A and B are shown apart, each in its own frame.
Chain A
Amino acid sequence: MTIWGALAGGAVGTVVLTSGLRIAQAAGYTRMDIPLLLGTIFTDNRSRASLIGYVIHFVNGLLFALVYYAIFRAVGHAGWVFGAILGVVHAAFAGGILVTVLLPVVHPRMGTLWSDSEETPILEPPGFLLVNYGRRTAIGTLIGHVAYGAIVGGFAAHLH
Chain B
Amino acid sequence: MTALQSLSDDLAAAVDRASAALVSVHARRRIPASGILWKPDVVITNHHVIQREEGIKVTLADGTTVGATLAGRDPATDIAALRLERPAPTSAALGHGPLKVGQLVLALGRPGPAVTAALGVVSSAGGEWRTWSGGRIDQFVSLDVSIYDGFSGGALVNSAGEIVGMNSSGLSRGAAMTIPFPTIIRVAEQLLTSGHMRRGYVGVGLQSVRLPSAIASQLTPARDVGLMVVSVDDGGPAALAGLHIGDVIVAFDGHPASEPSEMLAQLTGDRIGQIAAVRVLRAGAFADLLLTVGERPARAGRR
Q: Do A and B come from one complex?
A: no
A residues at B contact (CB < 8 Å): none
